[in-house]
């Protein structure tokens, strides 16, 4: 993990979007997963911001873009994208965010800024390992970890002096 967790608020975000979509297409091609136009559209909408987006907010955006969509449309796309490791669900927000490094399976921890609502992904194997280890000491076999840290990002700390 060399990349900074949160990019500056004014970074060139179009690059994030383009890179995420390109990587998604490559991954799906490799896996023979069908990243259909609708699914790609949903992924693109999710990547519009680093702020997680809810299913119904996505639904609205799909409709704004002219698609005749109903809730299942969105939830099916979300399911596909999750199964293929392209997005994560943020449990504490009931919302979805693009995965920052979808190419390899990984444990994730999320930093959720209360001020700007952005989310960044830590990919600390160390944390994941320690969690698994502590669980193991209780005789517990870990299958999946949900780690979400709510707080204030560096930029918001500077701007709002919270």
Residues that bind a second copy (CB under 8 A): 4-6, 91-92, 109, 111, 113-114, 120, 122, 124, 126-127, 130-132, 134-135, 138-154, 157, 162
Burial class (CB within 10 angstroms; exposed 0-12, middle 13-18, buried 19+) of 52: buried
Q: How many Å apart are CA 53 and CA 106, to the nearest integer?
A: 22
Q: Which of residues 1-20 bind Zn ion (CB under 5 A)?
A: 13, 16
- Find the binder of DNA among 76, 150, 158, 159 (CB under 7 A): 76
User: Out of a second copy, Zn ion, DNA, none, which partner does residue 146 contact, by CB within 5 to 8 A per kind?
Assistant: a second copy
Query: Which are the contacts of 139, defined by CB distance < 8 A and separation ≥ 6?
Result: none
Q: How many CB atoms lie within 10 A of CB 77?
A: 25
36 contributes a contact to DNA by CB under 7 A? yes
User: Out of DNA, Zn ion, a second copy, none, which partner does residue 142 contact, by CB within 5 to 8 A per kind?
Assistant: a second copy
Contact indicator for 109, 149 with CB cutoff of 8 Å: yes
57 contributes a contact to DNA by CB under 7 A? yes
Token pair recorded at residue 51? 């702020």
User: Out of a second copy, Zn ion, DNA, none, which partner does residue 76 contact, by CB within 5 to 8 A per kind?
Assistant: DNA
111 contributes a contact to Zn ion by CB under 5 A? no
Query: Which are the contacts of 138, defined by CB distance < 8 A and separation ≥ 6?
Result: none
Q: Which is nearer to a second copy, 63 or 160 (CB)?
A: 160
Name which of 158, 159, 149, 160 is nearest 113 in CA terms. Answer: 149
> Contact residues for DNA (CB under 7 A)?
33-34, 36-39, 54-57, 67-73, 75-77, 80, 94-95
């Amino acid at each position: 993990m060399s990349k900074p967790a949160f990019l500056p608020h004014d970074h060139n975000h179009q690059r994030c979007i383009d890179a995420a979509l390109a990587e998604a297409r490559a991954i799906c091609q490799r896996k023979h997963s069908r990243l259909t136009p609708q699914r790609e559209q949903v992924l693109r909408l999710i990547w519009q911001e680093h702020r997680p987006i809810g299913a119904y907010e996505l639904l609205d955006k799909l409709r704004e873009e002219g698609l005749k969509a109903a809730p299942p449309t969105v939830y099916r796309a979300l399911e596909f994208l999750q199964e293929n490791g392209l997005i994560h669900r943020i449990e504490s927000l009931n919302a979805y965010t693009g995965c920052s490094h979808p190419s390899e399976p990984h444990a994730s921890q999320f930093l959720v800024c209360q001020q700007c609502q952005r989310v960044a992904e830590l990919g600390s194997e160390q944390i994941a390992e320690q969690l698994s280890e502590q669980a193991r000491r209780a005789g517990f076999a870990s299958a999946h970890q949900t780690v979400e840290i709510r707080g204030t990002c560096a930029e918001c700390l500077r701007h709002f002096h919270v």
